[in-house]
């Protein structure tokens, strides 16, 4: 004979300890402790940022979501758990204390971190539970449905009431009718059970974006990036850099949210700088802001900016050398190896930072970054690289084109019958580039390699931008 479970005794079901009592406060129960313990292990580990977020969703969060469909939680408890999650991230250097909360929960393709909000997960579980209750034809579930309907009528706690309340917050009217429960939007669109998850994600995403756009400081640069119609959609491709250290991603988020400790940040945001002097401490020429530090300071132009410029351009240069069979191997994007000034064979000659000596015209700007003379296809390609600030990309392209116009004319006379083409490779200091750049790089390295080349160039630019920011912190 099997004895009944005694008061205080426990048994294990699906790896979880159960007892005869119904624990209705998971926020203060063992599952909360398990969640926070797992969270601490994850965010203090040597995992990359991408893998920490993934582990949080797949290892830590299930400790809570497993119980959500049977538990009753207050919004206060759920929000407290979200705050404790963010606190763990701050303690482990994964998040700036003043960084935007909404940006954490946006998808990585929009510049967010891709974390899941516990409050949203709980509300989604409740809504989907109610819809599943009204779509299941099992006789036992029919009894559960009757019980929940009676609880809703008598004013007791009910899954149905919770689901209706939460769908109302999403702008949806829930119509629970067996066997096809649906939600109706304000525009009259019908959302069935299978489409609800995707629809709710889009709603939460659009609301998150609206909140970011309303943040005049932390959300300013992110919102400008979203509104820029010229920028390519892969400007946040670095978010899928699966091996990126946590400090790299946190540092880039700090730059995007203008949290670098500049004079402008201290006087306009934290109000800790009371003087009128907001000029850069390095060059004393312009206002000390994130944009100035990472792309406009003359004190850094010939050192750190030039290093970043060369680190990104040499990736494309080595790819082209490999394509012309002038090099046997391509060094990694982080390699300190620098190109030689000249590579040549009987078909192609490649120049790295070698001036052109004019024979027919007076040419002042004669030192183009890279040059390829293709004798077989009778073509000369000039390649110019630049890493300006976000809103200066188009201006920089026009400047480069105008600057080297006399040089193109000189080369046309030096190489009669050759086609002279100039390619302006402009990737801004935060890794964004225009859609037209994709086509230019595709022309240079081929359609099978251009995406990977651009991603490696983006990594090089961002890594050196972070180095510039860290150097600024140390010097100032």
pLDDT at 475: 87
Report whether 98 contacts 254 (CB < 8 A). Answer: no
pLDDT at 327: 94
DSSP tag of 56: I
Helices (H), 171-285: 196-214, 220-227, 246-256, 263-268
Omega before 143 within 30 of 0, i.e. cis: no
pLDDT at 27: 42
**What are the residues facing 304 on neighbouring strands?**
none
pLDDT tens digits for range 105-123: 999 999 999 999 999 999 9
For the chain, give the percent of residues with pLDDT over 70. Answer: 95
Looking up tokens 């998808």 gives 107
Instruction: Kindly report the backbone phi and psi dihedral angles of residue 419, in degrees, each rounded to the nearest multiple of 5, phi listed first.
Output: -90, 125
pLDDT at 9: 74
Element (H, E) at 397: helix 393-403
Average pLDDT, the chain: 92
Please say whether the dihedral angle defined by the alpha carbons of residues 77, 81, 82 and 87, taken in this order, is positive or negative: positive
Pick the more confident residue, 74 or 322: 322
Do strands 342-344 and 182-185 pair parallel, antiparallel, or not at all (unpaired)? unpaired
pLDDT at 12: 65
Helices (H), 257-305: 263-268, 290-295, 298-300
pLDDT (average), residues 208-227: 95
pLDDT tens digits for range 384-396: 999 999 999 999 9
pLDDT (average), residues 302-321: 97
pLDDT tens digits for range 23-48: 555 445 788 899 999 999 999 999 99
Over 70: is that where the pLDDT of 83 sits? yes
pLDDT at 276: 84
Do strands 419-426 and 379-386 pair parallel, antiparallel, or not at all (unpaired)? parallel
pLDDT tens digits for range 10-20: 766 555 566 66
Instruction: Kindly report the backbone phi and psi dihedral angles of residue 374, in degrees, each rounded to the nearest multiple of 5, phi listed first.
Output: -100, 100
pLDDT at 274: 78
pLDDT tens digits for range 330-383: 999 999 999 999 999 999 999 999 999 988 888 889 999 999 999 999 999 999
Over 50: is that where the pLDDT of 425 sits? yes
């Amino acid at each position: 004979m099997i004895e009944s479970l005694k008061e205080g005794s426990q048994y294990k079901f699906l790896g979880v300890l159960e007892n005869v009592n119904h624990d209705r406060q998971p926020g203060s129960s063992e599952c909360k402790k398990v969640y926070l313990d797992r969270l601490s292990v994850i965010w203090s580990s040597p995992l990359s940022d991408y893998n920490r977020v993934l582990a949080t969703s797949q290892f830590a969060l299930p400790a809570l979501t497993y119980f959500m469909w049977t538990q009753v939680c207050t919004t206060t408890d759920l929000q407290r758990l979200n705050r404790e999650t963010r606190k763990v991230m701050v303690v482990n250097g994964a998040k700036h204390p003043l960084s935007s909360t909404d940006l954490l929960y946006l998808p990585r393709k929009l510049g967010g971190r891709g974390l899941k909000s516990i409050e949203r997960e709980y509300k989604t579980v409740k809504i989907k539970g109610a819809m599943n209750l009204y779509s299941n034809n099992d006789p036992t579930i029919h009894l559960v449905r009757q019980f929940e309907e009676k609880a809703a009528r008598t004013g007791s706690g009910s899954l149905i009431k919770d689901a209706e309340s939460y769908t109302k917050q999403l702008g949806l009217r829930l119509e629970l009718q067996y066997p096809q429960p649906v939600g109706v939007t304000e525009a009259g669109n019908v959302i069935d059970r299978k489409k609800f998850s995707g629809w709710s994600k889009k709603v939460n995403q659009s609301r998150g974006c609206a909140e970011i756009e309303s943040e005049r400081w932390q959300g300013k640069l992110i919102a400008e990036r979203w509104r820029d119609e010229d920028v390519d959609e892969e400007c946040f491709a670095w978010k899928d850099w699966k091996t990126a250290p946590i400090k790299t991603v946190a540092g880039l988020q700090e730059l995007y949210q203008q949290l670098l400790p500049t004079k402008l940040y201290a006087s306009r945001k934290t109000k800790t700088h009371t003087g009128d002097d907001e000029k850069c401490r390095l060059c004393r020429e312009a206002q000390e802001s994130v944009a100035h530090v990472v792309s406009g300071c003359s004190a850094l132009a010939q050192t750190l900016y030039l290093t970043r410029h060369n680190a990104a351009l040499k990736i494309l240069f080595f790819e082209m050398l490999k394509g012309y069979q002038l090099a046997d191997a391509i060094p990694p994007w982080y390699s300190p190896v620098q190109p030689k000034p000249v590579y040549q064979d009987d078909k192609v000659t490649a120049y790295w930072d070698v001036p052109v000596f004019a024979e027919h015209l007076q040419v002042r700007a004669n030192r183009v970054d890279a040059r390829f003379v293709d004798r077989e296809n009778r073509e000369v390609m000039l390649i110019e690289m630049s890493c300006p600030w976000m809103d200066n990309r188009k201006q920089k392209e026009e400047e480069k084109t105008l600057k080297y116009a006399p040089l193109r004319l000189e080369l046309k006379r030096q190489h009669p019958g050759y086609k002279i083409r100039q390619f302006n490779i402009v990737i801004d200091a935060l890794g964004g580039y225009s859609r037209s750049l994709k086509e230019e790089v595709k022309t240079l390295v081929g359609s099978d390699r251009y995406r990977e080349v651009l991603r490696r160039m983006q990594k090089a630019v961002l890594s050196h931008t972070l180095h510039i920011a860290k150097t600024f912190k140390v010097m100032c």
